[in-house]
């Protein structure tokens, strides 16, 4: 049963130097045709398996940049979502750029059922924003949040990044202080990963990208956890912090390894035990829809072994960890039966702990999360 829907809007007015998501420049793109195609894809998917979408909990508009669309285009997209799915869901999130989030767009989003905003802020340091390829200013962040609150949005999150080229601890602390001064209910903070096919990757491969040492990056993460706790936010996932009741329901679907649908060019989904991805190039995507076909490029039936691995490395990202009981109900055998030796080794190293019938990362384990996850991926 599909719990959540992700809808990909691949258009951007400015492409950031670190971004490896499926995206294109907005100019001269068939945006209106694309929106109609997404509507047709949703209609086909629901027609094929109406029972799968009967109890939808979340919708997430991501990108690219959904707020690159005009108010009219956003309104049409939301109209199609309401027509083929439902906008009456527990959580309906739209990603937004601060400098594109106009009052008119906020009104359209709110009236269309969106009840959560995720703003790509990344930093409050002007020099670092330029390095990232971001175009907004701090004043635009403050204005966007103020306008969003006036439009009726209470559930607002901002994304932050650390481990940036040339970033100092002082710059990171300043960003954290400015972010927490906003007193928002949710914050996400990610360390920079230099991905292939990005401007940063090209610079890095030429030795022209100066990144902080691992030790400094670890200290930045530690400071992040300290500051968030002091600000009254609890860490519920490796990179996410919230006030009680404002945890991201949609992202928790991923970490719970539950099923979701993905619509749009390059979108991914997981339905009936099958992981799939759509055609990324917009032309290919539109061609498939035009022929009355779902635009799936790849699909893969997840094996039991893969399901076990995903349950562990996704679930351990959450502070609540992985339930021994839920694991056995899903897999048909116990976690200890499958991973007992690995768990004991990780416990001896102080990386995981057993609490409340769950396996969890320790604080030390959060710093070495990828190394912990790898142990479950390499198991036979």
Task: Give per-residue pLDDT as tens, 236-248.
Answer: 999 999 999 999 9
pLDDT for res 18:
86
Cα distance between residue 336 and residue 349, in whole Å: 17
**111-132: pLDDT as tens digits:** 999 999 999 999 999 999 999 9
pLDDT for res 246:
98
Q: Which has the higher per-residue pLDDT, 205 or 123?
A: 123
pLDDT for res 21:
85
pLDDT for res 317:
96
Mean pLDDT of the chain, nearest integer: 95
Cα distance between residue 93 and residue 65, in whole Å: 13
**pLDDT (average), residues 254-264:** 97
Structure tokens at 256: 């719970």
Token pair 């400071």 is at which residue?
A: 223
- CB burial of residue 15 (10 Å; 0-12, 13-18, 19+): middle
Cα distance between residue 98 and residue 117, in whole Å: 11
Q: What is the pTM of this model?
A: 0.95
**pLDDT (average), residues 318-336:** 96
- Counting residues of the chain whose pLDDT is more than 70, the rounded percentage is 99
Name the pLDDT band for 171 (thresholds 50, 70, 90).
very high
Cα distance between residue 284 and residue 265, in whole Å: 9
H or E element that contains 274: strand 274-278
Name the pLDDT band for 25 (thresholds 50, 70, 90).
confident
**pLDDT (average), residues 317-322:** 96
Asked if 213 and 191 count as a contact pair (C-beta separation under 8 A), the reply is no
H or E element that contains 330: helix 324-331
Q: What are phi and psi of 337, to 5 degrees?
A: -60, -40
**CA quadruple 338, 340, 341, 345: dihedral, nearest 10:** 130
Structure tokens at 268: 């991914």
Task: Tally Cβ neighbours within 10 Å of residue 284.
Answer: 14
pLDDT for res 379:
52
**pLDDT (average), residues 338-353:** 96
The domain segmentation of the chain, as residue ranges, is: 4-255, 304-377
Query: Longest Cα pair distance anywhere in the chain, in angstroms?
Result: 58
pLDDT for res 284:
98
Asked if 120 and 159 count as a contact pair (C-beta separation under 8 A), the reply is yes
Residue 80 confidence (pLDDT) above 90: yes
CATH architecture classification, 4-255 = Alpha-Beta Barrel (3.20)
**268-315: pLDDT as tens digits:** 999 999 999 999 999 999 999 999 999 999 999 999 999 999 999 999
Cα distance between residue 215 and residue 18, in whole Å: 21
**CA quadruple 217, 219, 224, 225: dihedral, nearest 10:** 130
Length of the chain: 380
**pLDDT (average), residues 151-176:** 98
pLDDT for res 378:
61
**pLDDT (average), residues 101-106:** 98
**pLDDT (average), residues 334-355:** 96
Q: What are phi and psi of 139, to 5 degrees?
A: -60, -35
* CATH assignment, 304-377: 1.10.10.920
Cα distance between residue 221 and residue 375, in whole Å: 22
């Amino acid at each position: 049963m599909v719990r959540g829907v992700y809808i990909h809007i691949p258009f951007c007015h400015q492409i950031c130097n670190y971004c490896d998501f499926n995206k294109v420049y907005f100019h001269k793109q068939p945006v209106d045709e694309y929106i109609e195609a997404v509507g047709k894809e949703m209609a086909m998917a629901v027609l094929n398996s109406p029972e799968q979408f009967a109890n939808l909990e979340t919708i997430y508009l991501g990108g690219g940049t959904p707020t690159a669309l005009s108010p009219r285009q956003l309104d049409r997209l939301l109209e199609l979502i309401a027509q083929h799915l439902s906008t009456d869901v527990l959580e309906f999130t739209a990603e937004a750029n601060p400098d594109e989030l106009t009052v008119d767009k906020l009104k359209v989003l709110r009236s269309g059922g969106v009840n959560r905003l995720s703003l790509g802020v990344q930093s409050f340091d002007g020099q670092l924003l330029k390095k990232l390829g971001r175009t907004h200013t701090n004043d635009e962040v403050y204005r966007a949040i103020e306008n969003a609150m006036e439009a009726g949005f209470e559930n607002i999150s901002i994304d932050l990044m650390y481990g940036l080229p040339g970033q100092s601890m002082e710059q990171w602390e300043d960003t954290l202080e400015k972010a927490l001064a906003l007193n928002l209910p949710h914050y996400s903070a990610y360390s920079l990963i230099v991905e292939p096919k990005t401007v940063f990757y090209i610079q890095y491969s030429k030795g022209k990208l100066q990144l902080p040492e691992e030790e400094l990056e670890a200290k930045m993460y530690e400071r992040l956890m300290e500051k968030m706790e002091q600000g009254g936010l609890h860490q519920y996932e490796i990179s996410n912090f919230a006030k009680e009741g404002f945890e991201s329901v949609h992202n928790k679907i991923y970490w719970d390894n539950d099923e979701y649908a993905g619509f749009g060019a390059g979108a991914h989904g997981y339905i009936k035990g099958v992981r799939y991805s759509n055609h990324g190039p917009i032309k290919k995507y539109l061609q498939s829809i035009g022929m009355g076909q779902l635009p799936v490029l790849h699909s893969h039936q997840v094996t039991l072994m893969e399901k076990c691995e995903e349950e562990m490395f996704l679930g351990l990202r959450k502070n609540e960890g992985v339930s021994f009981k839920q694991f056995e109900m899903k897999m048909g055998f116990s976690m200890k039966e499958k991973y007992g030796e690995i768990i004991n080794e990780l416990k001896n190293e102080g990386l995981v702990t057993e609490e409340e019938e769950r396996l969890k990362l320790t604080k030390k384990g959060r710093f070495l999360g990828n190394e912990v996850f790898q142990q479950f991926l390499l198991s036979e």
